A and B are shown apart, each in its own frame.
Chain A
Amino acid sequence: MTGYLARRLGQALLILLGISLVTFVLLYLLPADPVRQIAGRSATAQTVENIREQLGLNLPFYEQYARYLGALLRGDLGRSYLQKTEVSALIASRLPATLLLMVGAIGCELVVGLTMGLIAAVRRGSFLDNALMIASFIGVSAPQFVIGILLLYVFAVQLGWFPIGGYGTFQHLVLPSLTLGLLGSGWYARMMRSEMLDVLRLDYIRTAHAKGLKGWKVLIGHALPNAILPIIAMIGIDIGMFMSGIVVVESVFGWPGIGQLAWQAIQRVDVPIIMGVTLISACAIVLGNLLADVVAPFIDPRIKAR
């Protein structure tokens, strides 16, 4: 296991290196000049050249990249071109909100999605099953903006149960998590249903059932662990995805997460922020997947982590 982990972490470093190179190349190819964004619309040619030189953007590509990597090795993500603030401080200020929303959203997805999936599997072919199927598809097809505003309007403006957006307390977390949770739960519901149906047909489940074990005991004790494997993989994917920030939901709920930071940086070609956020989310994605792979053997002992 230790050897496996060490190997995986080594591979993770390679991935991060690859991502940093790819992102740097893309930003270099991007036909939008960050210097122009800094210098603004009234700048003289002299100002533009000065800034280009100061930021080292007049250097050949490999030299710029080498400089960036060098700083990165010292733990320096650089300073934002436009805000002048350290990128690490900007990311750190938004990381807690992003983490919270990730936990809230995944929690919601699991509770809603797995329940839906279980019920649908057990009541297979019933009206309820069909209704849940339709609900799943509506959720997956619904635009986050619309669902977010609708939830806000009903539960915050009309009923006054929650604040109208913002960040700070548990109350603030509910609606954004619910928005992401409802929309994402369709995936979990459909996967859960399909896995449960497969598992419920297995002989040993029938045997357990025949031995007189109570229905729900069979369900929770035997069927669920066997069905949950792909769900673990999906959680791993979601960790990475939510850590990269969810622009729309963050903006609807005024949630100070990484997504808004990244989106504004992309619009204005703020290279250090884009690089920083991309690397942080790559870390999260790699770790999320690693986590899923490491956890899987504990759920399903047949798998060996190797």
Chain B
Amino acid sequence: MFETTAPDRGPAAGRPVGAPSVIGSLLRRPPAVFGLLIIGVVVAAAIFAPLIAPFDPGMQFFEGLTLQGAPLPPNADFWLGSDLLGRDLLSRLIFGAQTSLVIGIVANGVAVFIGAVVGITAGYFRGWVGAVLMRFTDLMMSFPALLLAIVLAANFRPTLWIVAMVIAMVNWVQVARVLYTETRSLAEREFIEAERSLGASAGLILWRHILPHLVSTIVVWATLGISTTVLLEATLSFLGIGVQPPTPSWGNIIFESQTYFSSAPWLVFIPGAAIVLLALSFNLVGDALREILDPTMRGNFN
């Protein structure tokens, strides 16, 4: 049962890694290459959306709906089908990548970064620093974010950046809680105590010895967070703070259409697949990176 757990097969194991060799190692791993490819495609779609989208994503076609007003399944005109207003789903997905990338990468990235800084600092230093930081985390976790969204919605022009800010504000707390717990445990282990008694600075210990052990947790939260934040954007935009109709996002396509999923499944499952694929791709790349960089892979644990 344990044969498969022998982990040390990273090509970079046992020697220092530089940037070129990281890229090289990445490219030697098929899953990572697949992930990079998908990410590349999505980013390209977002950047060049006006060039590649077959239609204007806001155009409500007369022939995009049946006479009874039902959307059309994938067909020769609308490759991925049409939505509830007779718009081309493929074009909306391509343009929607712009919004969803900003949310999934930037907002989620900021959230994970803040969460990591707060959690690790609080877990390592404990004492009053830890208490203040973690109680602040509790406070933010209880924060009525939906209410904040409604207030912001009525007072500001809705933009993508407000919704990104709100997401970053509410999503870092879980990361902080988990990393705090892990850091708290790591900080008390013998090898850290030993480093401390040798006079190593806190920054060095954190960077060299604590952070590397947390990379895998960070990868988990950062990649799964892509999915949840992309969906959260739709909820918040629904309350009026984010992108407003007719601007598409992967999240709002699902959100608007989900009650229709039994009669128009393509409107839910296709954007859903896009979200899963994007998050998975980041996970493949993240896992590969962790394996390449992780010190425990190089056998210097303890």
Q: In the complex, are there CB atoms of A and B closer than 8 Å? A: yes
B134 contacts which chain A residues (CB < 8 A)? 289
Q: Report the Cα distance A140→B226, complex, angstroms.
A: 10
Chain A interface, number of residues (Cβ within 8 angstroms):
72
Complex interface residues of chain B between 200 and 236 (CB less than 8 A to chain A): 213, 216-217, 219-220, 223-224, 227-228, 230-231
Would B142 and A282 count as touching, CB distance under 8 A? yes
| A-side interface mostly | helix
Q: Mark A1-43, 1 if CB is under 8 A from B, else 0.
A: 0000001000110110011001100110111100000000000
B1 touches A302 (CB 8 A): no
Q: Is B17 an interface residue (CB 8 A)?
A: no
The smallest beta-carbon distance between A158 and chain B, in angstroms, is 13
Q: Does A229 contact B (CB under 8 A)?
A: yes
Interface class of chain B by DSSP: helix
Residue A201 at the B interface, CB < 8 A?
A: yes
Q: What 1/0 flags go to A132-146 for Cβ under 8 Å of B?
A: 011011101111011
Cβ contact within 8 Å between B177 and A237: yes
| Interface assignment of A304: CB less than 8 Å from any CB of chain B | yes
Contact of B178 among A149, A230, A278 (CB under 8 A): A230
1/0 per residue B20-55: CB within 8 Å of A?
A: 000000000000000000000000000000000000
Are the CB atoms of A237 and B141 closer together than 8 Å? yes
Which stretch of B65-73, B77-85, B276-284 is in the interface? B276-284
Q: Is the CB of A26 within 8 A of B261?
A: no
Determine whether the beta carbon of A302 is less than 8 Å from that of B178.
Answer: no
| A237 CB contact (under 8 Å) in B174, B182, B279, B301 | B174
- Within A249-306, the residues touching B (CB, 8 Å) are 266, 274, 278, 281-282, 285-286, 289, 292-293, 296, 300, 302-304, 306
Whether the Cβ atoms of A191 and B181 lie closer than 8 Å is no
Given A197-B7, A266-B147, A278-B142, A146 contacting B268 (CB threshold 8 A): yes
Tell whether, in the assembled complex, residue A286 and residue B184 are in contact, meaning their CB atoms are under 8 Å apart. Answer: no
Q: Does B4 contact A (CB under 8 A)?
A: yes
Nearest first, the 10 A-B pairs at minimum CB distance are A282-B142, A141-B227, A194-B216, A233-B181, A31-B154, A215-B1, A302-B188, A190-B220, A285-B142, A26-B147
Between-chain CB contacts (< 8 Å), 28 pairs: A11-B135, A15-B138, A22-B143, A27-B147, A29-B155, A122-B1, A125-B4, A137-B223, A137-B227, A137-B276, A137-B283, A141-B230, A143-B231, A143-B272, A149-B261, A149-B262, A191-B178, A195-B216, A200-B7, A202-B302, A216-B1, A229-B181, A229-B182, A266-B147, A266-B150, A278-B142, A293-B181, A306-B126
Interface contacts beyond A29-B151, A229-B182, A230-B181: sample of 12 additional A-B pairs, CB < 8 Å, sorted by A? A30-B150, A137-B224, A141-B228, A141-B230, A143-B258, A197-B216, A200-B5, A203-B301, A233-B177, A234-B174, A237-B178, A292-B181
